[in-house]
Amino acid sequence: MSEPPPSGTAPPLLHLRGEIDRIDAAIHALIVERGEVVGKVIEAKRAAGDTGSAFRPDREAELMRRIVLKAPGRWPIDAPENIWRVIVATSTYTQVPYSVHADMSAGDTAMRESMRFHFGFTVPLVPAVDSTAVIAAVHASNGDLGMFHLEQSAQLGAWWKGLESPVAPKIIARLPFAERADHPVGLPVFVIARPQRDGLAREIILASIRVESWRMPAFAALESIGAELIAAAGDAMGANLLVAHRAEVTPAALTDALHAAKCAPMRYIEVGCHASRFTLKRP
């Protein structure tokens, strides 16, 4: 039979629960303090006449890299990633309320889970029938975001052409940011927003390229310069490509590679950018 704790000391379990309560109170206080600082950011922007976008994909990518590279302790990495995603998304929402228009054509559950993991439950979700509808909704909005699955239906054709106009929405992120085989919301999606001048993560450039024809050697030609073919759609006049390439790869280098593969490019239009894909390897 165990002896009672010394007089004046709390039982170990009760003491540990008290420690958890203390930590919870400190976390809550810091979240409130963060919100107050966000309020000061809003006031500072207004005073400076800053009408730029509240979304900062560059800062968000930098934060996410720090979060996923830190030792999570007893927590699975998904937990701190999700917590910080929700904090950032909700903080942005308090600056400028926005909705996320989500393409449900690849399945309702997977897209909803991805949206909630990355944006939380405070930000409204607006279902859309496909990527074309998402692009139109974001274009007509006053600052909303859009999400759609990378692998779109062939029936939509070159859907990314809807991003070509200078005033059309542009891709600002590719999610999930920290890719891994066991990611709870591993559905690969693009996030789009109305064009913004700054705050972009310009590590990977996405381009809409029109070529006279598509030939298999073009795969190797693109790979040789660190580019990736995301999607392709052909028609009687040629083919439309959606290509992702590193920022240091110039449009001229890309078109030269396609010329060498006998896929004469006729047009190159940037349709977005995002942070480099980050693959997290489990120990």
Helix, strand or coil, per DSSP, at residue 189: strand
Do 62 and 186 sit in the same domain of this protein?
yes
CATH number at 226 reads: 3.30.70.260
Residue 9 domain-assigned (yes or no): no
Residue 280 domain-assigned (yes or no): no
Main-chain dihedrals φ then ψ at residue 190, nearest 5 degrees: -100, 150
Q: Is pLDDT of 20 > 80?
A: yes
Residue 3 domain-assigned (yes or no): no
pLDDT of residue 215: 79
Question: What's the structural domain count of the chain?
Answer: 3
pLDDT of residue 5: 57
Do 24 and 110 sit in the same domain of this protein?
no
For residue 153, name the pLDDT band (cuts at 50, 70, 90): low
Do 104 and 26 sit in the same domain of this protein?
no
Return the closest-CA partner of residue 139 out of 150, 128, 151.
128
Main-chain dihedrals φ then ψ at residue 229, nearest 5 degrees: -80, 115
Per residue in 164-223, pLDDT (tens digit) is 999 999 999 999 988 887 888 989 999 999 999 889 999 999 999 998 877 788 888 888
Do 34 and 79 sit in the same domain of this protein?
no
DSSP state of 70: S
User: When comparing pLDDT for 145 and 184, which is higher?
Assistant: 145
Do 83 and 172 sit in the same domain of this protein?
yes
Residue 64 domain-assigned (yes or no): yes
Provide the mean pLDDT of the chain.
Answer: 87
Per residue in 180-197, pLDDT (tens digit) is 878 889 899 999 999 998
**From CA 64, how far away is CA 190, in angstroms rounded?**
17
Last residue of a domain, one of 163, 184, 201: 201
Q: Is the dihedral of CA 146, 110, 199, 27 positive or negative?
A: positive
Main-chain dihedrals φ then ψ at residue 5, nearest 5 degrees: -65, 155
- Range list of β-strands (E), the chain: 100-103, 125-128, 145-149, 170-175, 178-179, 189-193, 204-211, 227-235, 238-246, 265-274, 278-279
For residue 154, name the pLDDT band (cuts at 50, 70, 90): low
Last residue of a domain, one of 168, 201, 234: 201
Tokens 């000391």, residue located: 9
pLDDT cut 70: percent of the chain above it: 92
pLDDT of residue 236: 57
Q: Element (H or E) spanning 83, and its range? A: helix 78-95
Domain that holds residue 39: 14-49
Residue 279 domain-assigned (yes or no): no
**From CA 148, how far away is CA 264, in angstroms rounded?**
29
Are the beta carbons of 126 and 119 closer than 8 angstroms? no
Do 129 and 33 sit in the same domain of this protein?
no
pTM reported for the whole predicted model: 0.88
Residue 8 domain-assigned (yes or no): no
End-to-end CA distance of the chain: 42
Burial degree of 175 (CB within 10 A; 0-12, 13-18, 19+): buried
Per residue in 69-101, pLDDT (tens digit) is 887 788 888 888 899 999 999 988 988 899 999
